[in-house]
Amino acid sequence: MEATTFVLFGATGDLARRKIYPALYNLFLDRKLSHSFSVVGLGRRELGDEAFQAMVEKSIRDFSRREVNPSASVRSFLKAFQYNVLEVGNAEDYLKLLQRVEQLEAGKGSTPNRMFYLSVGPEFFEPIALNIKESGLGAAKGWKRLVIEKPFGHDLPSAQKLNLKLSEAFSEEEIYRIDHYLGKPMVQELDVFQQTNPVLHALWNNRYIANVQITAAETVGVEERAGYYDHVGALRDMFQNHMLQLLMMLAIRLPKDSSADEVRFKKKEVMESLEPLEEGNIGSEVIRGQYTAGVIKGKPVPGYLAEPGIPAGSVNDTFIAARLQIDDPFWKGVPFYIRTGKRMKEKSTRIVIEFKEPLKQVSSAEGEDIPNLLVFEISPNEGITLQLKARDPQHKGKFKAMHIDFHTSSIEIPEAYENLIHDALRGDPSFFAHWNEVELSWKWVQPILNAFAENTVPLHTYAAGSHGPAESDQLLARDGHHWWLDAAGEADEEAGEVAMRDAANF
Ligand code: BG6
Distance CA 33, CA 3 (A): 9
Q: Give me the pLDDT at residue 408, please.
A: 82
Q: Give me the pLDDT at residue 395, please.
A: 82
Residues 6+ apart with CB under 8 A from 151: 122, 232, 236, 237, 241
Q: How many CB atoms lie within 10 A of CB 248?
A: 26
Distance CA 436, CA 333 (A): 25
Q: Give me the pLDDT at residue 412, please.
A: 75
Distance CA 311, CA 304 (A): 10
Q: Give me the pLDDT at residue 196, please.
A: 87
Residue ranges for the chain with pLDDT beneath 50: 486-506
Q: Is the shortest distance between the CB of 349 and ligand 1 below 6 Å?
A: yes
Q: Give me the pLDDT at residue 362, please.
A: 59
User: Distance, CA 130 to ligand 1 centroid (Å)?
Assistant: 29
Q: Give me the pLDDT at residue 488, please.
A: 40
Bin 97: left if φ > 0, else alpha if -120 < ψ < 50, else beta. alpha
User: Distance, CA 244 to ligand 1 centroid (Å)?
Assistant: 14
Task: Give yes or no for a contact between 505 and 370, defined as CB atoms under 8 angstroms apart.
Answer: yes
Distance CA 13, CA 206 (A): 45
Q: Give me the pLDDT at residue 411, please.
A: 64
Distance CA 480, CA 476 (A): 6
Q: Give me the pLDDT at residue 147, please.
A: 98
> What is the gyration radius of the CA atoms in the chain, in angstroms?
24
In 3D space, the residue among 360, 357, 363, 370 whose CA is nearest the CA of residue 502 turns out to be 370
Phi, psi angles (nearest 5°) of residue 7? -100, 110
User: Distance, CA 13 to ligand 1 centroid (Å)?
Assistant: 16
In 3D space, the residue among 11, 2, 247, 223 whose CA is nearest the CA of residue 118 turns out to be 11
Q: Give me the pLDDT at residue 237, please.
A: 97
Q: Is the shortest distance between the CB of 240 and ligand 1 below 6 Å?
A: no
Sign, Cα dihedral of 210, 318, 120, 162: positive
Return contacts of 294-297, CB within 8 angstroms, 24+ apart.
Answer: 294/343, 294/463, 294/464, 294/465, 294/466, 295/464, 295/465, 296/219, 296/343, 296/345, 296/464, 296/465, 297/219, 297/465
Q: Give me the pLDDT at residue 336, please.
A: 98
User: Distance, CA 363 to ligand 1 centroid (Å)?
Assistant: 44
Distance CA 439, CA 10 (A): 26
What is the pTM for the complete model shown?
Answer: 0.93
Atom of ligand 1 nearest to the CA of 242: 3
Atom of ligand 1 nearest to the CA of 241: 3
Q: Is the shortest distance between the CB of 113 and ligand 1 below 6 Å?
A: no
Q: Is the shortest distance between the CB of 379 and ligand 1 below 6 Å?
A: yes
Choose which residue among 19, 63, 180 to substitute to test ligand 1 binding: the one with the highest number of ligand atoms within 8 A of its C-beta.
180
- pLDDT tens per residue across span 187-227: 999 988 888 899 999 999 999 999 999 999 999 999 989 99
Q: Is the shortest distance between the CB of 149 and ligand 1 below 6 Å?
A: no
Distance CA 401, CA 358 (A): 18
Give the residue numbers annotated as catalytic, written as ranges: 242
